């Protein structure tokens, strides 16, 4: 869940159930005869195929989804074995990190209107003067923001790129500026830049696993125009950004493996840019995902969500469209907008009257904000323009805003971002969510209660001495009479010197700080250690808050929750491990605790792997029937996302994610 402080701390806990889901529901949302696996290494696939030859008798039945992350799509005869049987077998294989169904995914395009007026004054979402019966100023204040910048480059001269993960785009549109991979020679059948993708000069086509980007997608072209139609060129319309480059990735529908392949490509392109100091790849700062699975349950899609985490660690925010139906996503679920990853912004659709569209999803804990998405005029195929409606159109306004803030940011912020890309991306998200215009129709129905305002978010970014604190809340779970620590990052993303003071009202005994004041020049930050000790406390919830006062640079309040729990008296469930807890997660010290009730005794093997499948730690523990507690010590790994897997008596019984902050 996301809290009302506008973004959830990176506490990600995905339970990977082997049993317990309705077979009827599963048949509705995945492709029979296909499963997706993430392996420890590329070499593992041959052993997997050999071990399960009864399912995969031919090597061509294996498709590479992501070479970088060792993710493969496996096909088999569904008349000989159902998906659940195959998954049960695969999850016990020692080379398998994660295994799941290949779910169906659909575009989220609303009703389409066909007008005939290619002028800026019909773009009410950017400047609403009451045209077409709209409410004046029911817009994102783009014209005010453009007085600050019209985007395109960062303060350090990096060319800003936005990945549009969709159905492709019309690459010859005169009003769009598409990124080109100049390190790749097109159509020569060679991977010239050695990034793992042959002939990806224009981008990537995950449908056909090649560089031939489809050019017939009006949907993808429309989304691209909202983000970055060339402005002030005397032609057509203007995007949120006037000069940003668009990276088209065809990967938005049909099956989940296609989505993962597309997101993996975005990751590789940005990673390549960082590793070569900008000589190759692209400075991608955001990806737009105007598609998803209605009523999807996030726990069924661990690989997709892990891709968002991985992109976030590189500094790339993922912006996602929620369902085009008046559903409470908190209740019904949705993929991807019910994901708990911090590195995603979830968006619903507002109208030119500044109200939520009646055919758009909402959720107090799942949907971050609204943005204009009804009757939006933008680019389409064949050098034309047209109207479309839906959360698909709302989302690129927010994606465009992410790119715009990177252009508006000064050298102080960009220096911080380059050294701390994950934290910097979360700050950009924070500025967007804290800069909204509050709308009555969104209060109580979205995390922020508001609609995107580009100008206000830009002003928050440009405050001269700017206080930024990560995360926005702390939540700790501990067994009785135990202790742990967590951290707060206090940063100055402005240019003037910032002085801050930290207090804890009423100062309860169970929480403490290693530092209560500090001075930060531009781009500097402090890591504040927050200690927790529940010695003598009864079980239950305890609440406090940390107040950070930086004078004119602002104040921030960090809610703190301590949960003291015990496994005594738990009603056992049918699965092997019940009441399972991992803490702290995210962790900063080389120590992680696992608590659970086991239905049987035996040897529990613990493996922790990075996202490339490399095992970074392996331990074994004797497990008794009933309540168990053990700690993994000396986990000295760098910041990032890791996967853990628990095997009891040789059977995989639990898998999930760990965050090292």
Cβ 239 vs Cβ 252: under 8 Å: no
Task: Examine the domain organization and report whether 530 and 634 are in the same domain.
Answer: no
Q: What's the CATH code of the domain at 188? A: 3.40.50.200
Domain contains 259: yes
pLDDT in tens, 118-136: 779 899 999 999 998 999 9
| Residue 81 pLDDT grade (very low, low, confident, very high; cuts 50, 70, 90) | confident
| pTM (2 d.p.) | 0.73
- Of these ranges, 281-285, 487-491, 555-559, 612-616, the one predicted with the greatest mean pLDDT is 281-285
Do 180 and 321 lie in one domain? The reply is yes
Residues 6+ positions from 72 with CB-CB distance below 8 Å: 36, 37, 39, 45, 62, 63, 64, 65
Q: Is the pLDDT of residue 24 over 60?
A: no
Regarding whether 80 and 161 lie in a shared domain, the answer is: no
- For the chain, the straight-line distance linking the first and the last C-alpha, in angstroms and rounded, comes to 19
Whether residue 13 is predicted with pLDDT greater than 60 in this model: the reply is no
Residues 524 and 379 in one domain: no
User: What pLDDT does residue 464 have?
Assistant: 64
Say which CATH number the domain at 59 has. 3.30.70.80
Specify whether 182 is located in the same domain as 35.
no
| Per-residue pLDDT tens over the stretch 42-51 | 888 888 888 8
Report the pLDDT value the prediction gives residue 23, as an integer from 0 to 100: 38
Residues 166 and 194 in one domain: yes
Q: In total, how many domains does the chain have?
A: 4
Between CA 578 and CA 567 the distance in angstroms is: 10
The predicted model gives 33-58 an average pLDDT of: 80
Q: What is the pLDDT of residues 170-188, one digit of tens each?
A: 999 999 999 999 999 999 9
Tell me the average pLDDT across 150-162: 94
Instruction: Supply the CATH number for residue 646's domain.
Output: 2.60.40.3080
- The answer to whether residues 245 and 361 belong to one domain is yes
Residue 240 located in a structural domain: yes
Residue 22 pLDDT: 35
pLDDT for residue 56 = 57
Task: pLDDT band for 612, please (50, 70, 90 cuts).
Answer: low
pLDDT confidence band for 514 (50 / 70 / 90): very high
The residue with tokens 């070479």 is: 67
Question: Are 94 and 128 within one domain?
Answer: no
Tokens 């506490």 sit at which residue?
11
> What confidence tens digit (pLDDT) does each residue in 380-425 have?
999 999 999 999 999 999 999 999 999 999 887 898 899 889 989 9
The two tokens of residue 124 are 């009410």
Would residue 280 count as lying in a domain? Answer: yes
Residues 368 and 423 in one domain: yes
45-54, 536-545, 566-575: segment of lowest average pLDDT: 566-575
Instruction: Kindly state the percentage of the chain with pLDDT values over 70.
Output: 91
CA distance 301 to 17: 11
Q: Does residue 219 sit within a domain?
A: yes
What are the tens digits of pLDDT across the range 317-371?
999 999 999 999 999 999 999 999 999 999 999 999 999 999 999 999 999 999 9
Higher pLDDT, residue 62 or 610: 62
Which domain-ending residue is among 55, 76, 103? Answer: 103
Please list, in sequence order, all residues whose beta carbon lies within 8 angstroms of the beta carbon of residue 486, skipping any fewer than 6 positions away: 474, 476, 529, 530, 532, 584, 588
Residue 28 has pLDDT above 60, yes or no: no
Say what the pLDDT of residue 3 is: 37
d(CA 571, CA 578): 9
Q: What is the pLDDT of residue 384?
A: 95
Specify the range with the lowest mean pLDDT, choosing from 169-178, 195-204, 320-329, 493-502: 493-502
**Under a CB-based contact definition with an 8 Å cutoff, are residues 561 and 474 in contact?**
yes
- What average pLDDT does range 488-509 have in this prediction? 88
Domain for residue 206, yes or no? yes
Q: Measured at the alpha carbon of residue 539, what is the angle toward residues 536 and 544, in degrees to the nearest 5?
A: 80
Residue 389 and residue 455 in one domain: yes
Residue 48 lies in a domain: yes
- The mean of the pLDDT values for the chain is 87
Domain hosting residue 490, numbered range: 467-564
Shared domain check, 328 and 397: yes
Boundary residue ending a domain (428, 461, 494): 461
Residues in the chain: 661
Residue 115 binned pLDDT confidence (cut-offs 50, 70, 90): very low
């Amino acid at each position: 869940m996301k809290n009302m402080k506008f973004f959830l701390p990176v506490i990600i806990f995905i339970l990977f159930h082997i049993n317990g889901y309705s077979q009827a529901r599963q048949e509705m949302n995945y492709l029979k005869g296909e499963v997706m696996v993430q392996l420890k290494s590329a070499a593992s696939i041959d052993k997997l195929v050999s071990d399960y030859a009864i399912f995969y008798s031919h090597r061509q039945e294996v498709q590479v989804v992501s070479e970088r992350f060792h993710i493969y799509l496996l096909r088999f005869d569904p008349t000989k074995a159902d998906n659940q049987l195959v998954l049960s077998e695969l999850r016990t294989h020692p080379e398998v990190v994660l295994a799941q169904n290949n779910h169906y995914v659909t575009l989220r395009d609303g009703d389409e209107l066909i007008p005939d007026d290619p002028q800026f004054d019909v773009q009410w979402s950017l400047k609403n003067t009451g045209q077409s019966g709209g409410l004046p100023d029911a817009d994102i204040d783009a014209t005010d923001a453009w007085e600050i910048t019209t985007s395109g480059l960062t303060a350090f001269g990096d060319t800003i790129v936005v990945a549009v993960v969709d159905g492709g785009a019309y690459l010859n549109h005169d009003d769009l500026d598409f990124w080109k991979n100049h390190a790749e020679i097109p159509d020569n059948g060679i991977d010239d830049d050695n990034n793992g993708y042959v002939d990806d000069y224009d981008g990537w086509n995950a449908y056909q696993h090649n560089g031939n980007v489809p050019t017939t997608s009006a949907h993808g072209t429309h989304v691209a125009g909202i983000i970055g139609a060339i402005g002030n060129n005397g032609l057509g319309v203007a995007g949120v950004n006037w000069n940003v480059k668009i990276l088209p990735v065809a990967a938005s529908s049909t099956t989940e493996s296609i989505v993962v392949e597309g997101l993996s490509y975005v990751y590789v392109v940005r990673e390549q840019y960082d590793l070569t100091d900008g000589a190759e790849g692209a400075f991608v700062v955001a990806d737009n995902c105007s598609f998803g699975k209605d009523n999807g349950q996030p726990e069924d899609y661990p690989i997709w969500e892990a891709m968002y985490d991985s992109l976030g660690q590189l500094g790339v925010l993922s912006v996602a469209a929620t369902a085009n139906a008046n559903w409470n996503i908190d209740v019904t679920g949705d993929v991807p907008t019910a994901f708990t990853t911090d590195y995603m912004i979830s968006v619903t659709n507002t109208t030119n009257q500044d109200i939520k569209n009646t055919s758009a999803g909402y959720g107090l804990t799942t949907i971050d904000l609204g943005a204009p998405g009804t009757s939006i005029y933008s680019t389409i195929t064949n050098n034309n323009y047209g109207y479309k409606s839906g959360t698909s159109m709302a989302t690129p306004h927010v994606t465009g805003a992410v790119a715009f803030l990177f252009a508006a940011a000064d050298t102080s912020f960009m220096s911080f971002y380059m050294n701390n890309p994950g934290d910097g991306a979360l700050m950009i998200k924070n500025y967007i969510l804290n800069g909204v215009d509050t709308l009555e129709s969104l209060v109580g129905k979205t995390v922020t209660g508001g609609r995107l305002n580009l100008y206000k978010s830009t002003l928050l970014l440009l405050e001269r001495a700017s206080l930024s604190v990560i995360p926005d809340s702390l939540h700790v779970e501990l067994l009785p009479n135990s202790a742990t620590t967590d951290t707060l990052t206090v940063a100055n993303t402005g240019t003037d010197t910032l002085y801050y003071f930290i207090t804890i009202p009423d100062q309860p005994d169970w929480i403490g700080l290693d530092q209560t004041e500090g001075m930060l020049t531009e781009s500097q930050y402090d890591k504040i250690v927050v200690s927790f000790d529940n010695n003598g406390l009864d079980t239950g919830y305890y609440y406090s808050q940390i107040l950070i006062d930086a004078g004119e640079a602002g104040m921030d309040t960090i809610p703190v929750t301590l949960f003291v729990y015990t496994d005594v008296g738990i009603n056992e469930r049918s699965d092997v491990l019940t009441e399972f807890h991992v803490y702290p997660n995210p962790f900063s010290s080389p120590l992680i605790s696992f608590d659970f009730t086991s239905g049987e005794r035996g040897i529990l093997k613990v493996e922790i792997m990075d996202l490339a499948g490399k095992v970074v730690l392996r331990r074994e523990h004797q497990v008794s029937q009933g309540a168990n507690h053990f700690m993994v010590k000396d986990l000295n790994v760098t910041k990032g996302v890791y996967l853990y897997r628990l095997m009891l008596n040789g059977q995989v019984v639990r898998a999930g994610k760990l965050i090292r902050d």
